[in-house]
Amino acid sequence: MEDLTRIATYSFELFGMRLTVNTETVFNTWLIMVALFALSLIATRRLQKLPNPAQRLAELYVGFMDKLTRETLETTSRGYVPLVATMFVFLLLCNWLGIIPGLSEPTKDLNTPLSLGIMGFFLTHTAAIREKGIVAYLKDYCQPFFIMAPLNVVGELAKVVSISFRLFGNILGGAIIIAVVSHMVYSLVLPPFLYVFFGLFVGTIQAFVFTMLTITYISVAIK
Amino acid sequence: MDGITGAELIRAAALLGAGLAMGFGAIGPGIGEGFAAGKACEAIGRNPDEAGLLTRTMLVGQAVSESTGIYALVVALLLIFVVKG
């Protein structure tokens, strides 16, 4: 039970700083990147008017994300579609990786959700400044009146914490429940159902929610 | 008699606190998510054509209201695994 929260790390000295790399997380993330690269190669090889199944699946997915993003942002521009579609499919594979024995979800390590959350934070505010201009952007912090500005800043920072901790907590909580139940029933009968529920179902919903909230934050910021 | 040392007391308090945090922290999200699901069911019953949009909105809303429960989970995990006494 003690190895539940331990993460494989490798640390070294560089220019007088102590750097620590979470080897397992990095390895699993690279594994997913390779898998995504291979999948997209398969889907876009020999593009035809009458698509083969892989191409059709990719077209369905891209079409769905395109519609969803532009409906939520209420715009006709396709600027955010590639990012949103990539983020969803990356998180989906991340959350599903845990059902393969011996591999663990990269999202079980707080660093992955937090870095994606911080990326979304900078993206949101860059989009807001570009869309509204710096003056209107700063004026938004003084709503409803000037004294509220610190509270609005804290609210923006809290969004990053809440979005990343939500994904991290859900995935880690699921992994812990699976580990505890497997320990109790000696990995008989029950764990496969738990893997389906926590790995596939909760993983899909949380990946969707993370993506959806990122789009929603952008759409609130640019309005 | 050995007695209970300070470290054991801290460990016991941390485990008890983790249980309490999770137990009380789960009440709010449970009620809130159930309420959201009930309202979504009503809305789908009245307007079945919009089922996809309603389900999507419901799931996002539930995930947001779940975050307080997740904070309780993170606090409980910190108490269990980080506080060594």
Does B1 map to a domain?
Answer: no
Does B15 map to a domain?
Answer: yes
Look at residue A157 and give its three-state secondary structure.
Answer: helix
User: What is the extent of the structural domain holding B29?
Assistant: 6-81
Q: How many CA atoms lie within 13 A of A11 on its CB side?
A: 6
The pLDDT assigned to A5 comes to 58
Are A205 and B63 inside 8 Å of each other by CB? yes
Query: In terms of Cα–Cα distance, which of A105, A101, A78 is closest to A90?
Result: A105
What are the tens digits of pLDDT across the range B30-58? 999 999 999 999 999 999 988 888 888 88
Q: What DSSP element (H or E) covers A155?
A: helix A149-185
Q: How far is CA B17 from CA A6, A75, A175, A222, B27, in A?
A: 22, 48, 21, 42, 16
ipTM score over 0.85, yes or no: no
Instruction: Provide the whole-model pTM.
Output: 0.84
Tally of structural domains, chain B: 1
All residues of chain B having their beta carbon less than 8 Å from the beta carbon of residue A209 are 59-60, 63-64
Task: Give the one of A5, A166, A172 whose C-beta lies nearest to B66's C-beta.
Answer: A166
Q: How far apart are alpha carbons A88 and A92 in whole angstroms?
A: 6
DSSP 8-class letter at B47: -
Q: CATH number for the domain including B35?
A: 1.20.20.10
Rounded to the nearest angstrom, the minimum Cα separation between A48 and chain B is 31
Tens of each residue's pLDDT in chain A, 223 residues: 555 656 667 777 777 777 777 888 888 899 999 999 998 888 888 777 777 888 888 889 989 888 888 888 887 777 888 989 999 999 999 999 888 877 888 888 888 999 999 999 999 999 888 888 888 888 877 777 778 888 888 888 888 988 898 898 888 888 888 888 888 887 777 778 888 888 888 888 889 889 988 988 888 888 7
Q: How far apart are alpha carbons A127 and B8 in whole angstroms?
A: 52
Are A165 and B60 inside 8 Å of each other by CB? no
Are B81 and A4 inside 8 Å of each other by CB? yes
Higher-pLDDT residue of B2, B1: B2
Cβ contact B58:B37 at 8 Å: yes
